[in-house]
Amino acid sequence: MGLGGCIILIAVGAILTFATDWDMQGVNLDLVGIIFMIVGLIGVATFSSIAKRRRVVVPQQTTQVVDDPHHRNTTGYSDGYGA
């Protein structure tokens, strides 16, 4: 379940808890809505902790340019085909 599924669970739970007044025999919709919201919040927390571990920043490696006069091209051309 991704982040979108967790947010949908929270929304459905909130709708069942706060926006409905249905009475079903044997089912407490307020409790079901609260359970959906709690499961959605746990899912969001789990997803964000996993996503945080994936985003490891690797420092960019820099290369040093060494100007060696013994390997310098004497013709002025970089590909070696110049006159």
Instruction: In whole angstroms, give the CA distance from residue 17 to residue 79.
Output: 74
Q: Whole-model pTM above 0.75? A: no
Q: What is the largest CA-CA distance in the chain?
A: 95
**DSSP string of 9-73, one letter each residue:** HHHHHHIIIII----BTTB-HHHHHHHHHHHHHHHHHHHHHHHHHH-PPPPPP-------GGG--
Q: What token pair was written down for 2?
A: 């991704």
Read off the pLDDT band of 69 (50, 70, 90).
low
Name the more confident of 80 and 37.
37
Is 3 in a helix, a strand, or coil?
helix
Q: What are the boundaries of each domain within the chain?
A: 3-52
